[in-house]
Amino acid sequence: MSWTAEERVTSDATECETGLNHGALAVNAWGTVIAAWAERDGPRGNFRIHTAERPSGGAWSAPELAVDFPESYAGSNLGAKFPALLPAAGDSLLLVWHDYRLDGIDHLELYAKIRGPGAAWGDSASETRITNSDHPESGGDNSYVPNLARTPDGTAHLAWYDYRYDGDNGEILTKSRTGGAWDTTPGDGPDTNISQNAGNSDFPALAASPDGALHVAWRDNTTGSYRIHYRRRDPSGGWGGDAVLSPAGVAAGGVTLAAGGDGTVLAAWSDARTGATALYARERSPAGAWGPPRRVSPDGVGAEESAAAVDAGGRRHLVWQDARESAFNREIFHQAIDAGGVWDSTGASDFRISTGAGKSSRPTLLLDAAGRAHVVWQDARHGATELYYRRGGSTLGAPGGAPGPPVLRARPNPFRSRVTVTGLGAAAREMLVFDARGRRLAVVPAADGAAVWDGRTPAGAPAPAGLYFVAPVPRGAAAPARVLRLP
């Protein structure tokens, strides 16, 4: 896999953070990458949530304020944090976060909002409180770290940890956004407690399978040390039993999950079973059996904060941060294996994603439909923690390894002044535009599989209203292989 150069998403030297829920990235149907982060730029040092977008073949947009934290809200050095993004129906974008506005550190709830296609966050000021963790009788009043996943039917699902039942011990809760809305009925009825134990349960990971099943894993210290627990919800809504993935007597770090199209589930976490913290992975077969744990990172480098994904071809991806470069300069690394492969714990197969001289941490990993890997992380190379991004090339192809034919998409369509065409293929150097009679009307430069046509001829005249066709021209080719009609 080849990787693009690092790109700095934020640039105002204000402290930023993504969170540990791996929800800081989304990719829409047109290949636009959306990043979300919390930035300490609100009153009294509070965080506000921002997003930025990178069109396929383009550059990062200026940050857009998604969640404000006005002076009237409670708390100092808190604010709106841990954003999670998810594409929703009709090219909308769902954002969920945890928020201290009600009573600062004493009362933390989850909120959500939707941004419509082509709209700004400010166009829809509606922010819905979707949890009710205020239980004064138990001292439980905090909901933390939302995780989002979407099943093939388009339903959004949420998992988080919550202290509503016991102020000292958290539980893992889930709920779903059905019929385009969250159930916000007061009380605990709308939420499902899936951990229900005497210990503290926190930092859940959530994944959805193509068959509609949900998978949740989390840390649990009921037995005295934190171990990784897992449960599955079948497509009909029934929850299976609790499986424990990590060994007893060894404290496990945060867990990440990814579901493959072949029915497998990849889980990864860090623990120090050999005396030094390393990254371990296990896989659940389609039949429901968990395989043995396999070490992924080199021993003794302190690997932590992993994120997992599985592409459409079954290739497994993991990213994490570790201290192999320096104890004061932790960096982000990536490793991938094919289905049935074995993780390389020597470090020889690892690719260093971040290249700065400051601490890099909290990576988020997302694979798009074309199999490209997108990674954002926190990076302190400039002093204040900023957000950085890097993209890996696709590992997918047609049978035999040959690239499949391009699938072109246009947005908006119809259009008035400009249209973005994606799916031209990484090898395309330009895009040809033809009118309905087959005459070539324009030649548009292409980059990164995309091109933008301003609706004009090479002479600068506006093209007349009508139907147009486009074709990619690969590098080294004299003419397009075919003319494809815009969908």
Residue 442: which CATH number? 2.60.40
> With bands split at pLDDT 50, 70 and 90, how would you rate the model's confidence at 475?
low
Let me know if 15 is exposed, middle or buried by CB neighbors in 10 A (0-12, 13-18, 19+): middle
User: Which position has the higher pLDDT, 384 or 84?
Assistant: 84
User: Which residue type is seen at 132?
Assistant: N
> With bands split at pLDDT 50, 70 and 90, how would you rate the model's confidence at 86?
very high
> With bands split at pLDDT 50, 70 and 90, how would you rate the model's confidence at 130?
very high
Both 300 and 449 in one domain: the answer is no
399 part of a folded domain: no
Strand partners, 295: 280
> Residue 403: what pLDDT?
42
452 part of a folded domain: yes
Both 426 and 334 in one domain: the answer is no
Both 128 and 163 in one domain: the answer is yes
Both 439 and 386 in one domain: the answer is no
> With bands split at pLDDT 50, 70 and 90, how would you rate the model's confidence at 397?
low
User: CB of 297 within 8 A of CB of 355?
Assistant: no
User: CB of 393 within 8 A of CB of 1?
Assistant: yes
* Number of domains within the chain: 2
> With bands split at pLDDT 50, 70 and 90, how would you rate the model's confidence at 407?
low
Handedness of CA 170, 272, 269, 22 (dihedral sign): positive
59 part of a folded domain: yes
Residues 23, 331: Cα–Cα separation, whole Å: 20
> Residue 477: what pLDDT?
43
Both 53 and 191 in one domain: the answer is yes
Domain final residue, candidates 333, 359, 392: 392
For the stretch 200-245, pLDDT in tens is 999 999 999 999 999 999 999 999 999 999 999 999 999 999 999 9
| 90: pLDDT strictly greater than 70 | yes
Both 104 and 241 in one domain: the answer is yes
Both 289 and 234 in one domain: the answer is yes
Q: What's the mean pLDDT in 256-270?
A: 96
Both 222 and 337 in one domain: the answer is yes
Q: For the domain that residue 180 is a member of, what is the CATH number?
A: 2.120.10.10
Cα→Cα distances 248→272, 284, 294, 305, 402, Å: 12, 19, 16, 20, 46
* Residue-number span of the structural domain to which 313 is assigned: 7-392
Q: What's the mean pLDDT in 475-484?
A: 43
Residues 70, 74: Cα–Cα separation, whole Å: 9
- The model carries a pTM of 0.83
User: CB of 53 within 8 A of CB of 25?
Assistant: no
